[in-house]
Amino acid sequence: MKRQTPAWVAKLHQEGWNVHTFSIAEQIWALLKDDPFMWSLCVTEDKAAPLNWPRTNKALADILTADSGLLKRLEGALQPLEDQQNALLLVTDLEALHPFLRIGAIESQLQGKFHVPTIFLYPGVRTGKTRLKFLGFYPEDGNYRSVHVGG
């Protein structure tokens, strides 16, 4: 999917779409870098117990959800596109959410705020009309409100 993304973006541009991308991986990194205190705390804690992955994962999840950080960034990417003709938001790198949270938790909080077509390049397996298994190994989640395309 990642290798095909530039071709898809080019094709969408050819068809008249004004494509904007929102990389989850880039936004996670930005959230970490934008808060020097939290970043230094994470580094210090990691040095104290480098193999305590559950604690590390929980700390990183807390940073992503604190003050709705990642949610606000996605909403902030959507808002300026509302008045743009043929705007489309392509959300990439969802696998970077593992093991911190799943996109359904963010998507559900943005219900009613998607005023431009938004495509999530979801790394997972479709198990029904509205059910998805994130990364193919998480339990099925039927809470996604979006239309699913592909297998």
Give all strands of the β-sheet with 18-23 in edge-to-edge order.
Answer: 18-23, 87-92, 118-120
Mean pLDDT, all residues of the chain = 79
How far is it, in rounded angstroms, from Cα 74 to Cα 107? Answer: 9
| Omega prior to 139 cis, within 30 of 0 | no
**Cα 70 to Cα 66, 97, 103, 128, distances in angstroms:** 8, 10, 10, 28
Residue 58 has pLDDT above 50, yes or no: yes
Residue 150 has pLDDT above 50, yes or no: no
Per-residue confidence band for 78, with pLDDT thresholds at 50, 70 and 90: very high
Its pTM stands at 0.76
